[in-house]
């Protein structure tokens, strides 16, 4: 049954986003578990709970949730034509089998920046000032045997494009004159939000200046073919393995001990660079609707998961050098009207009430 699902629903990448990872990674994990030996007529939620517990002892919560949802999808498919599996309810549904609670935890990983205290400490000891994590990241990926890895990293930080979209990007999707890029997604079946293409049209996104510089650097000298890939780095899964190995190797060989303790190049994924880019762009584009146009998000809730503000930088901006009431009128916005100073005094009801005009002139009414 599972093999039929793979053949019919995951052929040539399938119709679903992430079908390649399911076919090569998650499906073999399900078939290699004891749950694959259970007779379908005797498959219960208790069997699925056992599968969940065994997986949870070996893999991350997000991976366990992915495999539980995939198992539920297979069973839902088998209950219909042509299998008609006699199950009144889906034993792997989220209503019956609880998912790990910390699987959807929001990541807040950003590239680390050297603090002023570290710079002062290094200067006092006469040492070379430490570098930011981004510089070590570039140095690590530049040592890759695949020359496209460094450009993919720079592109991710500059444009905040998803990994699948970056690997599927072709030169006919890039318009350097209009400074626009079209997101098409893996297998040219659309991006993560491809189901909204009919109502929203193609995903056109403005190109950032640093991203344009990356495209100009990788552009073929002898002329380009419109259908050629912009970043022909090979398989995405192979790139993920290379990326993790490059960072681990650089952490052992090239990161100083004090920076290792701070977490340089530790627990850093390629997708974290999209978070980093979105957070940087948010400091430039104050309107979240403009930022959504760049990142490709459809709602503010999704965008909020990617925005990780620099709290230290934000607190400095909020701390004004002097209170607003101590500033001169020339330093305030042009619509500011200086307050009129009035003095309360005892007066009879018949006495006219003074009215203060914005110019400061007082007249009686």
Can you give the three-state secondary structure of 283-315, one letter per residue? Answer: CCCCCHHHHHHHHCCCCHHHHHHHCCCCHHHHH
Count of Cβ atoms closer than 10 Å to residue 190 Cβ? 19
Chain centroid to Cα 178, Å, comes to 25
Residues in the chain: 365
Q: How far apart are CA 121 and CA 127, in angstroms?
A: 9
111: exposed, middle or buried (C-beta count within 10 Å: 0-12, 13-18, 19+)?
Answer: buried
Q: Are 142 and 249 in contact (CB under 8 A)?
A: no
Please report the pLDDT score of residue 193 as a whole number: 57
Determine the Cα–Cα distance for residues 49 and 67; give it in Å rounded to an integer: 12
Q: How many angstroms from the chain centroid is the CA of residue 145? A: 26
The Cα 365–Cα 201 span in angstroms is 61
Q: What is the pLDDT of residue 40?
A: 84
- Distance of alpha carbon 264 from alpha carbon 242, whole angstroms: 18
Q: What is the pLDDT of residue 188?
A: 55
Closest CA to 103 of 137, 138, 56: 56
d(CA 183, CA 296) in angstroms, rounded, equals 9
Low pLDDT (below 50) residues in the chain: 12-15, 315-316, 318, 320-347, 353, 355-358, 365
Distance, CA of 221 to CA of 328 (rounded, Å): 57
Phi first, then psi: give them for residue 355, nearest 5 degrees: -115, 130
d(CA 272, CA 246): 16
Q: How far is CA 169 from CA 165, 196, 241, 268, in A?
A: 6, 19, 21, 24
Chain centroid to CA 241: how far? 19
- Tokens found for residue 317: 């901006």
The half-sphere exposure of 335 on its side-chain side, counting CA atoms within 13 A, is: 0
- Token representation of residue 9: 């629903």
């Amino acid at each position: 049954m599972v093999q039929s699902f793979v053949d019919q629903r995951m052929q040539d990448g399938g119709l679903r986003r992430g079908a390649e990872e399911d076919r090569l990674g998650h499906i073999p994990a399900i078939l290699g578990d004891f749950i694959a030996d259970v007779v379908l007529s005797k498959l219960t939620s208790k069997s699925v709970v056992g599968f969940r517990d065994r997986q949870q002892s070996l893999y991350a919560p997000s991976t366990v949730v992915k495999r539980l949802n995939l198992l539920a999808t297979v069973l839902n498919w088998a209950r219909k034509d042509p299998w008609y599996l006699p199950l009144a309810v889906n034993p792997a549904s989220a209503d019956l089998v609880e998912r790990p609670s910390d699987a959807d935890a929001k990541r807040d990983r950003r590239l680390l920046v050297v603090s002023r205290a570290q710079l002062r400490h290094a200067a006092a000891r006469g040492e070379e000032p430490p570098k930011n994590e981004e510089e070590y990241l570039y140095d690590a990926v530049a040592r890759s045997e695949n020359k496209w890895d460094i450009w993919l990293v720079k592109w991710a930080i500059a444009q905040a494009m998803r990994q699948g979209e970056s690997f599927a990007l072709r030169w006919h999707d890039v318009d350097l004159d209009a400074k626009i890029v079209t997101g098409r997604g893996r297998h040219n079946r659309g991006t993560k939000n491809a189901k909204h293409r009919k109502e929203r049209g193609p995903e056109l996104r403005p190109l950032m200046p640093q991203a344009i510089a990356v495209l100009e650097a990788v552009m073929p000298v002898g002329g380009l073919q419109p259908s050629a890939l912009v970043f022909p780095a090979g398989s995405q899964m192979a790139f993920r393995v290379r990326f993790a190995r490059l960072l681990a190797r650089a952490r052992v060989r090239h990161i100083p001990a004090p920076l290792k303790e701070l977490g340089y190049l530790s627990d850093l994924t390629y997708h974290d660079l999209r978070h980093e880019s979105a957070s940087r762009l948010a400091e430039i584009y104050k309107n979240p609707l403009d930022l959504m146009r760049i990142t490709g998000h459809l709602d503010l809730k999704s965008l909020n998961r990617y925005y990780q503000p620099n709290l230290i930088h934000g607190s400095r901006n909020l701390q004004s050098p002097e209170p607003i009431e101590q500033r001169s009128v020339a330093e305030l916005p042009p619509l500011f009207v200086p307050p009129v100073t009035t003095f309360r005094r005892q007066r009879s009801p018949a006495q006219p009430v003074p009215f203060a005009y914005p110019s400061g002139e007082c007249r009686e009414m």
